[in-house]
Amino acid sequence: GAGGSGGAGGTVSMRGAGERSGSRGMDAIDAAESGLAFAPGAIRVSFSHLYDTLGLCLVDDRSTLLLYSLLHGNTSFLEYCLVRQDMDTVMLPLMEMLYNAPSRTPNQIYILLIIVLILSQDASFNANIHKLVVRDVPWYKERMLRDTTLGSLLMVLLIRTVKYNLSKLRDVYLHTNCLAALANMAPHCRDMSAYAAQRLVSLFDMLARKYTRLADAAAAAGLDVLAPGAEGGSGGDGDGDRDGVGGGAPAEMHIFADFLRIVLEIINSTLTYALPKNPEVVYALLHRQELFEPFAQHPRFSELVLNIKNVLAYFNRSMDAAGMDAAQWTTERVTEVITAAAAKFRAESHVRVFQELRFTYEEETSPEEFFVPYVWSLV
């Protein structure tokens, strides 16, 4: 892939939209389940029983390391997991562990995010996770979540992890993994909840504020903040440590410019490929549309911001055409207008269609440097 970020025994890489996972059918899964695909003398394990058991015991490092090893090292088991319709069996306990990230070590969070990234590489996983509705999430304390899709819940937790990491751990690799999974999910989103959509826009706001502060500080120091070199460049060492979010201002600017660009790509991908199925995303963007104006002329972001502005202009015209006074607008009425306009929306008429952004997980050439000390710490 082009580019990437390393850590936790692996790297995150981009790949072209045309590079898809190989086709698979239930024949391969049935063969693995029945033992037909096993070499003579090999131990046979029921994938069904293994999957259900993992769902019951995903509560600590040992179980998550086992799941990571199975997903990364056993293609047949990975494919089996991806065709299961009850993905909440495994995903909900993983999400609860991710929710409790403040009480976990960085290594524990790494493994959880790598598992999510591996699964998000598959288009069918991304499509199915947005179809499964979770009736109640009792362990989520910030607000009551009812009848939300598993996909919306995962997006909320990934965004929450980014915010926690920015305030506490300041680890670039964690940021990259979270944003990579979100980017993989974006084209397949449907019925994104209002809360998830609001969190996505607030994520852009948070990163934009951080980037702007760094750019202002660099400008005050006499640096040309729009010049490629002022952001550290993609291949240089910069003035700070690329493994953390706390180096010199130029290096930090480069890092946050990358993050901001990915979030804009996530929003663009959702608008380009999944807008009619996500009126709440449009509502959230309309509500905070002023956030994007400062970046309309920025060379790193302008083409993506222009897409967003074009989409919002389309919906603003639809709102104007409704001919209602400001006092008549309610949340329900705005949503109705957005939903009706979204049904007629054609991306190719309003946006420049970019290549779909996709990220993959690749284990490092020496993963034992991360995993051996980690495993020994659990013994």
The 10s digit of each residue's pLDDT in 267-293 is 999 999 999 999 999 999 999 999 999
Report which of residues 7 and 297 the model is more confident about.
Answer: 297
Highest mean pLDDT among 19-28, 212-221, 333-342: 333-342
The structure tokens 């293609």 sit at 75
Structure tokens, 352:
């420049």
What would the mean pLDDT of 329-339 be, rounded to a whole number?
92
Residue 256 has pLDDT above 80, yes or no: yes
The answer for residues whose C-beta is within 8 angstroms of residue 239's C-beta and 6 or more apart is 232, 247, 248, 249, 250, 251
Question: pLDDT at residue 205 above 90?
Answer: yes
Could you read off the pLDDT of 149-166 as tens digits, one per residue? 999 999 999 999 999 988
Its sign, for the CA torsion 11, 12, 18, 19, is positive
Query: What pLDDT, on the 0 to 100 scale, is given for residue 234?
Result: 37
Indicate the pLDDT class of residue 24, thresholds 50, 70 and 90: very low
- Whether 249 and 218 have beta carbons less than 8 Å apart is answered as yes
Q: What is the mean pLDDT of residues 185-212?
A: 97
pLDDT of residue 222: 83
Would you report the helix, strand and coil content of the chain in percent, each value rounded to 5?
65, 5, 30
Beta strands in the chain (DSSP E): 2-7, 10-15, 133-136, 146-149, 358-363
Tokens of 262: 């990915």
The pLDDT mean for the chain works out to 86
Contact between residue 350 and residue 267 where contact means Cβ atoms under 8 Å apart = no
Three-state SS at 12 = strand
What is the model's pLDDT at position 370? 87
d(CA 185, CA 151): 8
Give the pLDDT of residue 246.
Answer: 55
109 to 121, 184, 243: CA distances (angstroms): 19, 19, 16
On the question of pLDDT at 342 being above 60, the answer is yes
> CB under 8 Å to 116, separation ≥6 — which residues?
94, 98, 154, 158, 177, 181
- Count other C-beta atoms under 10 Å from residue 5's C-beta: 21
Virtual CA dihedral for 150, 103, 362, 378, nearest 10 degrees?
-120
- pLDDT on residue 297: 93
Please give the DSSP secondary-structure letter assigned to residue 75. Answer: H
pLDDT for 2: 36
Q: Which residue has the tokens 């049935």?
A: 30
Q: What's the angle, vertex CA 108, arms to CA 359 and CA 249, rounded to 5?
A: 60
What is the mean predicted confidence (pLDDT) over 187-215? 96
347 neighbors 272 (Cβ within 8 angstroms): yes
pLDDT tens digits, 57-97: 999 899 999 999 999 999 999 999 999 999 999 999 999 99
